Amino acid sequence: MHLFIKCSCFFFLLLSANAQSSIEQALDWYNSESVPYISVTEMQNFENQIILDAREWEEYEVSHLKDAVWVGYDDFKLAEVVDKYPNKNSNIVIYCSIGVRSENIGEELLESGYFNTKNLYGGIFEWTNEGYPVYNTKGEKTKKVHAFGKLWGKYLTKAEKVY
């Protein structure tokens, strides 16, 4: 019986995720907006920002926003962020593929006193979809973006998808 329930729940989640046809719909479905969004355009004027990448290392390696610091998701360690950025008044922008994982990490930052934390709306997918550059680990511009998976990759329209 437990296996049936687990399979049913997984199937429902798959159908739900598949039904979301835009980044906006996906964020409406998965996020609670517990971390204030910042748009790609607004981010251009957000001064003295610390940019944190909440994706997995394999995703960061393919490409990331310029000067972004990898903090990960599964291996996120709040203590490391606190050690590296002790000023809790810092302007922090956190991002992932579209903004779901980054909301979770952003909640941890807000709860620990980083009240100027923003979640990049649409994440790196929206960033590249709007024509902004991304960089590989050598600091070179690239057109490649890790698409996380085929289900999520449909939201990435203006980059070379890597899986």
Tens of pLDDT, residue by residue over 87-142, are 999 999 999 999 999 999 999 999 999 999 999 999 999 999 999 999 999 999 99
Residue 123 CA to residue 25 CA, distance in Å, equals 14
89 found inside a domain: yes
Task: Return the CATH number at 35.
Answer: 3.40.250.10
Give me the chain's average pLDDT, please: 90
Sign (positive/negative) of CA torsion 137, 94, 31, 46?
negative
- Residue 31 sits in which domain range? 22-162
12 found inside a domain: no
Query: What is the count of structural domains for the chain?
Result: 1
Residue 44's Cβ-side half-sphere holds a number of Cα atoms within 13 Å equal to 7
pTM metric for this prediction: 0.87
